Amino acid sequence: MVTRIGLIRHGETFWNRMGRWQGHAAVPLNEEGMQQARLLADYLLQNSHPISAIYSSDLKRASDTAQMLADRLKKPLTLDARLREIDVGEWQGLTGDEIRAWDGKRFEQVQRDPFGTQRPGGESLNQVAERAIAFLRELVQRHTEGYVLVVSHGGTIRTILQRLAVVGEGRIWVDNTSITLLRYQHAEDRWLLDAFNVLEHLGTRRIVPGSDG
């Protein structure tokens, strides 16, 4: 038995453009983000394996992306808070430069140990990994075969990939509405990475990276 999972980062927001850390903020998609989601939905309709279901973070930028996919693909959508972006606590809404200027010591601690260090008033990546991997473990038992879409956030997707050891520990970038394909082999209890950060649906529309989230 094999379960295939398409991890999708939500469409672009104005805070992405501005480089602001979004965390759990209810930031909506901007017009570019909505267009990215429409292009992705059309691409999946034409090029995807049959999709069993769609799951999403309940944060607005992810759930709105997922709803556009669900409407176009005519598939059920389930929201799950375990797919949320990392809670950045007191840093929410700030840029990296603003955080360094205001809270440089704690920022350096997080840079040295991002998995073990909680953001002030927020989470550590270990906590994000714990909830996100628990979700995936339940998902592959619910969908023992087939292809499932999971709409989440840049930091959460990176954390999943690193915790599953399908990518290295260095910094990797996940673009808005990119598709990353995971494959879970039930007999071996093994995770494999089939594709990373696929952007065929955007063509030349890819923008310069902004903030995560």
Nearest C-alpha neighbor of 18 from the set 7, 36, 30, 9:
30
The model's pTM? 0.96
Q: What is the mean pLDDT of residues 123-142?
A: 98
pLDDT exceeds cutoff 60 at 206: no
Query: CB-hemisphere CA count at 13 Å for 50?
Result: 3
Q: What is the mean pLDDT of residues 3-31?
A: 97
Nearest C-alpha neighbor of 42 from the set 194, 206, 182, 200:
200
pLDDT level of residue 112 (50, 70, 90 thresholds): very high
The more confident residue out of 147 and 48 is: 147
pLDDT exceeds cutoff 60 at 208: no
Report residue 207: phi and psi, to 5°. Answer: -105, 170
Question: Are 121 and 93 spatial neighbours (Cβ–Cβ below 8 Å)?
Answer: no
Nearest C-alpha neighbor of 11 from the set 148, 184, 199:
199
Domains of the chain: residue spans and CATH: 2-202 (3.40.50.1240)
Number of other CB atoms surrounding residue 123 within 10 Å: 22
**pLDDT score at 48:** 83
Q: What is the mean pLDDT of residues 171-195?
A: 96
pLDDT level of residue 207 (50, 70, 90 thresholds): low
Dump pLDDT digits (tens) for 56-90.
Answer: 999 999 999 999 999 999 999 999 999 999 999 99
Question: Which positions are annotated as active-site residues?
Answer: 10, 85
Kindly provide the residue ranges of all beta strands, DSSP E only, lying in the chain, ordered along the sequence: 2-9, 51-56, 77-79, 146-152, 179-185, 190-198
